[in-house]
Amino acid sequence: MSVVRRFATIPGPRPLPLLGNSWRFAIGQKPWQTRSLDVTLWNLRALAGAGGAAKVAKLFGHPDLVFPFCAEETAKVYRREDSMPHRAVAPCLKHYKQELRKDFFGDEPGLIGVHGMPWSKFRSKVSKALVAPEAAKAAVPSLDDVAVDFLDRMEKIMDHNREMPKDFLTELYKWALESVGAWALGTRLGCLSEKDNDAKEIIKNIHGFFHSVPELELSAPLWRIYSTKAYKTYVDALDSFRNLCLKRLTDKGVCAKIAKSSGEKVATILALDLLLVGVDTTAAAAASTMYLLAKNSRAQCRLQAELDNSLPVGRLLNSQDLERLPYLRACIKEALRMKPVILGNGRCLQSDAIISGYEVPKGSHIVFPHYIMSNEERYFPNPHDYTPERWLRDTERTDDHVSSKSCYIENESNDKICEHAKAALIAKRQREVGIHPFASLPFGFGRRMCIGKRFAEVELQLMLAKIFHKYNVSWRYGELTYSVTPTYVPNEPLQFTLDNRKKGK
């Protein structure tokens, strides 16, 4: 029988008297810069060692953080949670909703930054309209319309070398925001138009909001003493989003249905939350998928073969069309495994627990670092190889090579092997290992799973299907590096080159 170890013995960076560990983020030296949390996680993984857990204690305004680097432990914690799972509260958002703008929110806190009964009551008012598969399927025509417009815009903004501009990530933000407006608010926000000043203001606030979050939530909470620049940016952005949702709420879209059943205020608050979590994340997922496919001609060729065989001619796409694209779905899953838009999910323990052999007291915040687990060899063989085939079910696999040309690469022994053979070998090893259901959780798990998951998947599938059906996408630059903003996004410009395919439409 294994001995349960004391909480104090969990390895981790040592806190200083009075200053705790917050000084590390305040100074901002690697690996403790808020934009370098991926590096921080790898350092914590090294500290965890064979025990499989690490701890960051004594952070201003936060409970102690425990990181179990083990999918089995993640499953145990998730499966023991009650009907009202608790996340650690985001202090700034809680302050905004429950104090600064209490006159508006009142007893309707929304879905983000809250937990317990208030969260559960609000979720019960909105979940039916969001989680049902039929809801996302019904949104396909409007989202397809947005995707068509986005491709038109891509043609307008590429240069004479058919290269995307340096601010292409911002263009992806616009597409994601326009998509959320289409299915949630039932209206076109005009983000893909150069003339819409409202859209430009929205994008500005999206950037301001997300770039201020890490500083406000992880560094010393100076905003509680005086209004820092980041705090002012944060509040101005939230006020702008709230006014947008009030002004643009229509009698169409998902929020319109909720307005009829629960009132316009509930619908507006939901729309605000959807904007906060549905723009930056979806844009980042699209960017990473495009990048990884652009660097992997084998996977891109196979995807294009599937699109050529399955996409209809002369009409908009529907949900049945998307169901015939398993390799596209696998491409997105593989991108989210390697570059998840959020590095980890969390839960606040509501009772004492034993995690990775350590006693962990009630109130501790457990962070599930799925970014680390989904990039470890023990869960995903050859984790640094982009191999969508590892996600295909038996009925979706094929040994057909989609390209007749020879694609050879060198392995570690400098022997040349076919790329298709290597992908097949990795997929075979993955089948032998299996895919642990808690090793890669880009949308979370349980009742607090991303409530807009189905819509985000449809948005990504439609847009990526159209891009790779029409274009060969290539990448002419070095390896992208990533930062946490708090979404995990590339640092360098996304200057993809798009060449029209002879077979494309």
Residue ranges at the known binding site for heme: 450
The 8-class DSSP code of residue 61 comes to: T
Contact (CB, 8 A) for 411 and 417: yes
CA-nearest of 141, 127, 138, 123 to 84 is 123
The 8-class DSSP code of residue 163 comes to: B
Contact (CB, 8 A) for 416 and 408: yes
The 8-class DSSP code of residue 185 comes to: I
Residue 355: how many other CB atoms lie within 10 Å? 22
**Which amino acid belongs to residue 160?**
H
Burial of 192 (0-12, 13-18, 19+ CB in 10 A): buried
Backbone angles phi, psi at 472, to 5 degrees: -90, 120
Strands 365-368 and 65-68: parallel
Per-residue CA distances from 481 to 31, 345, 398, 428 (Å): 15, 22, 33, 30
CA-nearest of 474, 473, 471, 477 to 491 is 477
Cα–Cα distance, 411 to 409 (Å, whole number) = 7
| Greatest distance between any 2 Cα atoms in the chain | 69
Q: Which residue has the tokens 């997300």?
A: 210
Q: Which residue has the tokens 């508006």?
A: 104
Cα–Cα distance, 7 to 142 (Å, whole number) = 52
- Residue by residue, DSSP assigns 333-392 as HHHHHHS-SSS-EEEE-SS-EEETTEEE-TTPEEEE-HHHHTTSTTTSSSTTS--GGGG-
Please enumerate, by residue number, every residue annotated as part of a binding site. 450
Backbone angles phi, psi at 372, to 5 degrees: -70, -50
Cα–Cα distance, 195 to 69 (Å, whole number) = 48
